[in-house]
Every structure is written in structure tokens, then in C-alpha cells.
Amino acid sequence: MDELTIRALYASVVEDEGTIFIGFAEGEDETEPYVLIRQEGAGAPIWFEVADESLGAEEAVEKVVLGEKGLTFVIAADKIAKIGGAAEVPVQIGPATEDADQAIEALRDMFGTRFEG
């Protein structure tokens, strides 16, 4: 999976007992490609996974870049193999992406100085 682009139709932010979950998905079916970011409280390690829990790791994201077409998750060099060989995971966000603004703000808060854009 050297390169994977998520074409997000849905975004979500859920807080459950202090854990924050941020997700972007191509569809509502669990087989649809997705990105999930999870943090078990402020300052805790950030979990990142793409398309499957087996393609995830803590502190896998070096930085998040917000551009014209959406987000790019830049993967830390030592975590690329755990994310299926992808050095970057782009998430395309369009005007029809539900709850995208809320999810982007939550990412900005979660990643702090590692969020660009």
C-alpha cells in the first residue's frame, strides 16, 4: 500500500470517557477506506490507522498538512512499515464531506505545532 488516498464523504469527532476519536471515511460501510486518529486524553500518545487496525501505530504521524484539497498525514520514517509502506496518507475533503470543519479543528487541537495550514 505505498500510496493510499481517502476520498472522505464523512468526518467525525467523538469523545468517549476522555478518549477522542477523529475519523474520515469514504462511506458508511465498515469495508470502506478510512483514517482513524485516537488519543486517550490530552498529551497522551496519538494512535493513527488507515483502512485496518493492523495498519496503525502510536505516534505514527510526524505532521498533518492542510491544503486546498484536504489533509495530508506525513508518516514518521520509523513508522512507515507499520502503515503499510505509505510515507504520506492524503485525505481529500470536498464541500460534501460531512463534519469536516469540526474534524479539522479537533486535529488542530490534538496535533498542536505538528499541524500546518
Domain hosting residue 61, numbered range: 6-112
Within a domain: residue 77? yes
Rounded Cα distance, 26 and 88, in Å: 18
The CA-based diameter of the chain, rounded to the nearest angstrom, is 35
Which three three-digit cell numbers place residue 36?
Answer: 482513524
User: 68 or 24, which is more confident?
Assistant: 24
Query: Structurally, how many domains does the chain consist of?
Result: 1
> By C-alpha distance, which of 38, 35, 94 is closest to 70?
94
Within a domain: residue 101? yes
Predicted local confidence at residue 52, as pLDDT: 87
Angle 99-12-33 (CA atoms, 0-180°, nearest 5)?
110
Within a domain: residue 117? no
Contact between residue 105 and residue 117 where contact means Cβ atoms under 8 Å apart: no
Query: Does the predicted TM-score (pTM) go above 0.85?
Result: yes
109: pLDDT strictly greater than 90: yes
Within a domain: residue 1? no
Report, as an integer, the average pLDDT of 55-75. Answer: 96
Neighbours of 9 (CB within 10 A): 18
Q: Quickly state the pLDDT bin for 1 (edges 50, 70, 90).
A: very low
Within a domain: residue 84? yes
Q: Quickly state the pLDDT bin for 3 (edges 50, 70, 90).
A: low
Q: Of all residues in the chain, what percent carry a pLDDT higher than 90?
A: 82
Q: Which residues contact 29 (CB under 8 A, 6 or more apart)?
A: none
Report, as an integer, the average pLDDT of 8-21. Answer: 96
Strand partners, 49: 36, 56
Q: Of all residues in the chain, what percent carry a pLDDT higher than 70?
A: 97
